[in-house]
Each structure stands twice: as structure tokens, then as C-alpha cells.
Amino acid sequence: MQIERLSKTFSQAAGPVLDDVSLTIRPGDIHGIIGRSGAGKSTLVRCINLLERPSAGRVIVSGRDITALRGRALRQARRGIGMIFQHFNVLSAYTVAGNVALPFKVAGLPRAEIARRVPPLLELVGLADKADAYPSELSGGQKQRVGIARALALDPSVLLCDEATSALDPETTDQILALLRDINRKLGLTIVLITHEMEVLRDIAGRVAVLDHGRVVKEGTTFDVLAFPKSAVARSFLAGLVAHELPPQVEHQLLPEPVADSDPVLRIVFTGHAAHDPIVAELVSRFQIRPNILHGRIDYVGDRPLGVLTLVASGVGGRLPAVLSHLCSLELSVEVIGHAVRSVAARRHGAAV
Ligand SMILES: Nc1ncnc2c1ncn2[C@@H]1O[C@H](COP(=O)(O)OP(=O)(O)OP(=O)(O)O)[C@@H](O)[C@H]1O
Ligand SMILES: [Mg+2]
């Protein structure tokens, strides 16, 4: 699916809610779109399936510009795009089977055909034993399963999920994400996951776009977005997930410029195999640095390790350029993020060296 230069303005006074958004979502991918509240995520989804007419731009689904369609052709094309929501949108007057049968009824399928097509869908989402239950008898996770089954009824090529797990507890969220990944693999279905939580995307989305004030400010593999966040918005989503930011107590001690008694503070991002290398030991033995670790952790994105380590390169002195180029040669990303005044102990040791 291609989103080409999509814009949406509701009122000239308020300005554009979507501003020249372009994205390529590859068939069979799980593609995340993350943004703060009000960033324009739901508007983007509604423009993709044309519940809302974009002010400009095109949406290409399976090679077809659906923004050019009207009436019956548009309704037909829309069937190729399934959608699930935060609040499940399950009709309380219908049973589980009745809810899943709705899209078939709307499409005018004969009753016998509907009776044949509903059970496999319930099976797929793990609700085979709940066919006759009413929504009031279901948990949130089960209601979302009904939503998923209903969205898949007409064999869409794309499933749009707008905050589909936001109303669920963490364990149920994981179960629903596992179900989506399962469906993605089994059916080869393209999934667009819209969320304000990076946790939701970390393990299942191959690519992520960061939306801010209606613009795409970053797009790339989930790993790269997590490992190398460039914008403040991208960073803000990673708090708690990846240790890019220092705890405030430590941050306060950093100086922007070196002073007589300071050492540089390095932030090293370890990716892939380097995450397992004894980098710190090497800094000690090759460069006679006494690293003082301020902050760090290793996380996993999918199955790739991603480590962020912030350390004071005590005693590095004039060897700093050599240290930086050595770390770069190991394909680590390294950055001097400030300077720390040497502690009394380090000063004493520095004098000895
Ligand atoms: N129909 C509308 N008419 C006017 N303004 C709208 C309309 N729909 C959305 N907006 C405005 O567009 C902006 C983006 O809203 P949108 O619902 O797309 O954000 P969102 O990223 O989905 O936020 P959330 O995370 O809270 O769901 C908001 O400022 C909102 O007020
Ligand atoms: Mg929204």
C-alpha cells in the first residue's frame, strides 16, 4: 500500500491535521505508526480507508488508486481494508457469531454461505467456543478478537489497527499482538498498527513511522528507530524502553563544555553482535581509561540486542579521538554527550597514571 503526499485540513484556521504524508507499506509487513495524542493518527487511518476524504494526495491499495473511486467501486475497494479500534465496536445486541456475520450480511451473502464462513473465522481468533455468547459476557480481549474476526471476514489485504490494544491490560495486549502476528504470517495479511506506545511495536513491527503534528518525522526499521532516534519526539517514545536518556540526577551533573578538571561522557549504542563484545574491558586495556559507568542497559528488539551505555571516560585525555575512531571501527555508534567533573578519587588516580 502506498500513501502519497496525503494532506487533510478540516479548517483553514486550525491548519493541516495531516501534512504531506507519504509512506510505503510493503505487502505482508507489520508496519507501525506511532505518535502522540493529536498527532493525526486516527485521521490518517480514516483517510486511508476514505471514511474521511483527504484534502490532497492518493492512497494506492493493491496497485489501485482508491482515492479516485466513488460509489459502488469505492465500497468494493474498501472491503480490501479491514479495521479494528480501541473500543472494539462490537454490537451488544448480537452474539459473537452474529457480529462476525454482519459484514457478510451487508455484502449480501446467502444465509447458508454465511453459516459456512463464520466458524473458521471464530476458530482463527480462538473464539470457537463463544459463538453464542453476547458481548456483555466477554472480556476486553475476547471482544477485540470478535473485532478482528469481523475485520477479516471479507478477506482484506490490509488490516488497520487504531490503538487496538490501548484498552487492554499488558498480558491481554501481548495475546492480541501474538494473534495479529499469527494472522499476519498465516494469511500474509499486511497490518498497519497505530499506537502511542512503542512497547506495542517493539517486538512485532518490522518498520515504524513516527508521526508528529501531521508529518512523518522519522521512518525506518523498528530497530533503527529505537537505536538511533534523531528527533526529540522519537526519543520521547523510547523512555523506559531504551536507555537513551540519562536519569535526571545524572543529567544534572553534565557540563556542556569541558573544564579544567573534567572528562568526556560518552554514550555508546551497541547493536547486533557488538552488544556481546567486551568493549569496556578493551577501553581499559587498550586506552588505559577508567570508565565510570553512569547508566546503561541492554534490550531486545525482536531478537536483536540493543544496548545503550553512558560512561565517563576518566583519564582519556588526548586519546579521545583515537578512542572514538576505535569505537566507530567496531560499528558502534558513539557520541560525546557532555563532560563530567572528575571525582576526587579519579583525580587521585589520574595523578598516579
Ligand atoms: N472531524 C474533525 N474535524 C475537525 N478537527 C478534527 C477532526 N478529526 C480530528 N480533528 C483534529 O485533528 C487532530 C488530530 O486528531 P486525531 O484524532 O487524528 O489524533 P490522534 O493522533 O489519533 O490522537 P489520539 O492518540 O488521541 O487518538 C486533532 O487536533 C483533532 O482535534
Ligand atoms: Mg486516535
pLDDT at residue 353, rounded to an integer: 39
22 grid coordinates = 507519504
CA atoms within 13 A on the CB side of 122: 20
Nearest ligand 1 atom, CA 45: 18
pTM of the model: 0.85
Nearest ligand 1 atom, CA 44: 18
Quickly count: other Cβ atoms within 10 Å of residue 132's Cβ: 10
Distance 40 CA to ligand 1 centre (A): 5
**Distance between CA 82 and CA 93 in Å, rounded?**
22
- 156 and 216 inside one domain: yes
Distance 6 CA to ligand 1 centre (A): 15
- 232 and 257 inside one domain: no
pLDDT at residue 15, rounded to an integer: 94
- 284 and 304 inside one domain: yes
Strand segments, DSSP code E, in the chain are 2-9, 16-24, 30-35, 56-61, 64-65, 81-85, 158-162, 190-195, 207-212, 215-221, 262-271, 290-301, 304-314, 333-341
DSSP category for residue 255? B
Nearest residue (CA) to ligand 1, atom 3: 10
pLDDT at residue 349, rounded to an integer: 56
Amino acid at 219: E
Which residues in the chain come in under a pLDDT of 70? 239-240, 272-276, 343-353
**Distance between CA 152 and CA 155 in Å, rounded?**
5
**Distance between CA 21 and CA 3 in Å, rounded?**
7
Nearest residue (CA) to ligand 1, atom 27: 37
Nearest ligand 1 atom, CA 43: 18
Nearest ligand 1 atom, CA 36: 25
Residue 257's domain comprises 248-352
Nearest ligand 1 atom, CA 39: 21
Ligand 1 binding site (Cβ under 6 Å of any ligand atom): 10, 17, 35, 37-43, 196
The answer to whether residue 316 sits within a structural domain is yes
The answer to whether residue 241 sits within a structural domain is no
Closest Cα partner for 234 from 219, 247, 248?
219
- 28 and 103 inside one domain: yes
- 80 and 169 inside one domain: yes
- 253 and 232 inside one domain: no
Instruction: For residue 160, give the CATH number of its domain.
Output: 3.40.50.300
pLDDT at residue 276, rounded to an integer: 65
Quickly count: other Cβ atoms within 10 Å of residue 13's Cβ: 6
Distance 46 CA to ligand 2 centre (A): 10
Residue given cell 568493549 in the structure block = 279
Last residue of one domain, picked from the residues 236, 270, 296: 236
- 271 and 186 inside one domain: no
Nearest residue (CA) to ligand 1, atom 28: 38
pLDDT at residue 306, rounded to an integer: 85
Domain count across the chain: 2
**Are 296 and 308 in contact, with CB atoms under 8 Å apart?**
yes
pLDDT at residue 109, rounded to an integer: 96
- Three-class secondary structure of residue 106 per DSSP: helix
Distance 163 CA to ligand 2 centre (A): 7
Nearest residue (CA) to ligand 1, atom 8: 43
**Distance between CA 59 and CA 104 in Å, rounded?**
25
CA atoms within 13 A on the CB side of 161: 33
pLDDT at residue 348, rounded to an integer: 57
Structure confidence by residue, pLDDT tens digits, 125-162: 999 999 999 999 999 999 999 999 999 999 999 999 99
Nearest residue (CA) to ligand 1, atom 26: 37
pLDDT at residue 347, rounded to an integer: 57
